[in-house]
A and B are shown apart, each in its own frame.
Chain A
C-alpha cells in the first residue's frame, strides 16, 4: 500500500464493452479512458444508462451476458506486498472467470453497490458471507475468519456485531446492510474499492453516515475509491477527481474543483445548471437538459451529445467524433469548442 503515489493504480484506456443482442449491438461503454491514483477518490458521474456501472463491472470482469469487453486495456497495479508484487496486469486481457482474475476480484478490487436490500443472499447469514470472502483470499481458519468478520463489522459501526454476524440480511435495516456490505468489501483490504451508487437507495441521514464511514475507512486503510453516482452533491463531498460520462464515453475529466468552478464541456455545464445550489437566489430557475438520452440502439453520429447541445456546431459536431484532449493540469475534455 506504500506504492508510489504518482503512478496510477488503475489506468483504463479505450475500454469498449458491447452487448450483442438480436435487436442490435448496445455500445454500453464505447471508448472510456481515465486514470486513478492510489488513495484518491474518483467520482464517475452521468445520467442513468451512460455506462458507469458497466465500466465498473468491466474492471471486475463480471459483465452480465451477453456483454463482453471488445477492446481496450484495464491496467491495474497489483499490491506491492501481495502475491502480484507490484506488477501491472491488464484485467481486460484476463479470462473473466479464471483464477488470476478471481485472485484480484474481492481481494484487491472490491465492489459495493446500490441495492442494500438484495445484495446479500436472503438465506445465508451476513457473517457466513463475510467469512466466505475472508477465507477465500486469506490463509486463516474459520474461527479466525469469524473473528475478523466481527471485528470488521465493529469497524464499520455495526452495533452488537457478535449477534449481527449470525443474522440474516432481512433482519437488518438498509443502512446496516450497507455497512455490512462495506465490511465485506473491505475485509480483504483491497487497494481499490468500487462503490456503485452506494447511497442512492438510502435516506439522507443514513447517506451522510455511510459517506462519512467511507471517508474514515479510506483515511485508515488508504485504498482508492471509484465512486459511481449521478448525485453531484456526493461527488462534491467525496471526490478528488471527476470523470463525466455520456452515452458510454468520457466527455470530461478534471480535479473536483475545476469541474464545479470551471466546467468546460457543455454537458458538464448543463448537468451543473440542473442541480439546486445552496447559495443560488431563490428566483433562479433550474434548467433541465433539453431533450432526453437517445436510445442505445440509435446513438447519434459525431459527438453523442450534439442533438441536445446548446453550442452545437452544424456540420462538425454531427459529423466528426471529438477525442479527449488535455486542457491543463489533470483536466481533459472531449469537445470541438476547445481546439
Chain B
C-alpha cells in the first residue's frame, strides 16, 4: 500500500515539475523579457522605474543568464511564495488571484461531486435494467452530454434563462452580495448558485462515467461470484449492491483522476460564458494583455491543484480497493 501511494506521489511530483516547466515556457514565450516590458508598461502609465530597481529585478529573475538558471530562480521565488508582479494590475500576482482560486476549486469540486452523485446510481440502474426504457433514456442523455461542448451548453442555458425567465443564471453570487464580506449569507448564496455551473461542467463527465459504470457492471454481473452470492440466499438487492457494484466501483473510481483535469479545463471557458468570478476570465485577460506572470501563475496553480486533487482521489482508491491495501504487505 505504501509502495502504491509512494508511486502515485512520485508521479504527482513529476507532473508538477512538468507543469512548472510548461508554465515557465508560457511566461517566456512572448518576445522581449519581463523587466523590459515592465519598464515600458510603467513608462506608458507615466511612472518611471529607476535603474537600480530594474537592475534588482534583472538580478532576481536571472535575466540574461541561461534558461535553466532563469527557471531555477523563478522556481526559487515561487517556493518562497513570490509569484511576481502583475503588470496589468500592478499588484502582486497572488493578491490579484486571491479568492478566485478557491472559487475555482469550489466550482470544480462541486462539479466532480455532482458527476459522482448522478453517474453512480444511473449507471447501476442502466446495467441492472439493461434495455429498459430508463436505460435508453440514460444512454440518450449520455450521448447529448458527450456531444454538446460545455461552453455551448452554458451559452444555450444562459440564453434560455434570459429569454424565458428574464433571469441571469450566470455568476456565483447575487449582485447585492457580490462585494459583501464572507459570512453565512454569502456562503449560502454561493451554494445556491453552484448547481447550474456544476451541472454544466459535470454533464460530459457524468455521461462518460455512466457509460463506464454501465459497461463494467454488465461485465461483473456475469461473473461467477454473483452466482455464489445469490446461491447463499441473499436478497437480490444485497447481491447486486454488495458484490458486483463494489467491484465495478474500482475502475469507476480510478477514472476520477482523468475527470478532474477535464473539469478544471472546462471551468475556465464555462466561467467566461457564465461570468463566474473564477480564475478563468482572469487568465484570458492576462493572456490577451500579455501579463505573463499572472497567466503563468494561474496555469501553474491550476495544474498543481488538479494534480493534488488527483493524488487525493488515488489515495481514496486505496480505501475502496482492498487489493491495493493488501499489496506487498
- Centre residue among B223, B224, B235, B326 by max chain A CB count within 10 A: B224
The answer on a CB contact under 8 Å between A105 and B250 is: no
- With A113-B224, A113-B227, A168-B322 already in contact, the answer to whether A133 and B246 are too (CB < 8 A) is no
B326, A171: Cβ atoms under 8 Å? yes
Chain B 224-239 interface 0/1 with A at a Cβ cutoff of 8 Å (1 = within): 1101111111111000
- The chain A residue sitting closest to B230, CB to CB, is A62
A113-B227, A115-B224, A118-B225 known; A132+B232 contact, CB < 8 A: yes
Nearest B residue to A181, CB-CB: B228
B243 contacts the other chain (Cβ, under 8 Å)? yes
Q: How far is the CA of A111 from the CA of B229 in the complex (A)?
A: 10
From A62, A120, A132, A168, residue with most partner B Cβ within 10 Å? A62
Among A104, A121, A184: residue with most chain B CB under 10 A: A121
Say if the beta carbon of B189 comes within 8 Å of chain A: no
**Minimal beta-carbon separation of B129 from chain A (angstroms):** 11
Cβ distance A290 to chain B, nearest Cβ, rounded Å = 34
Interface string of B206-226 (1 = CB under 8 A from A): 000000000000000001110
| Inter-chain contacts of B321 with A (CB < 8 A) | 123
Interface residue? B247 (CB, 8 A) = yes
Instruction: List the A residue with the shortest CB-CB distance to B221.
Output: A64
Q: Does B323 contact A (CB under 8 A)?
A: yes
Residues of B within 8 A of A129 (CB): 228-229
Complex contacts, A118 vs chain B, CB 8 Å = 223-225
Report if A102-B323 is in contact (Cβ < 8 Å); known contacts: A122-B247, A123-B247. no
Choose among B225, B233, B250 the residue that contacts A103 (Cβ–Cβ < 8 A).
B233
Interface of B is mostly: helix
Q: Mask for B245-259, Cβ within 8 A of A = 1, else 0?
A: 011001000000000
Closest-CB distance, A274 to chain B (whole angstroms): 28
Q: Is there an interface contact between A123 and B323, defined as CB atoms closer than 8 Å?
A: yes
Chain B contacts of A62 at CB under 8 A? 227, 230-231
Q: Which of A106, A119, A124, A181 contacts B233 (CB 8 A)?
A: A106
Does B228 contact A120, Cβ atoms closer than 8 Å?
yes
Contact between chains at A119 and B224 (CB < 8 Å):
yes
A136: interface (CB < 8 Å): yes
Most central of A102, A103, A184 by chain B CB within 10 Å: A102
Q: Is A282 an interface residue (CB 8 A)?
A: no
- 19 A-B pairs with CB atoms under 8 Å apart are A62-B230, A102-B235, A105-B230, A105-B233, A106-B233, A110-B231, A111-B227, A111-B228, A114-B224, A119-B227, A120-B228, A122-B247, A124-B246, A129-B229, A132-B232, A132-B234, A137-B233, A170-B323, A184-B232
Task: A106-B232, A137-B233, A168-B323 are known; give 7 further A-B pairs, CB within 8 A.
Answer: A62-B231, A106-B233, A113-B228, A123-B322, A124-B322, A129-B228, A136-B233
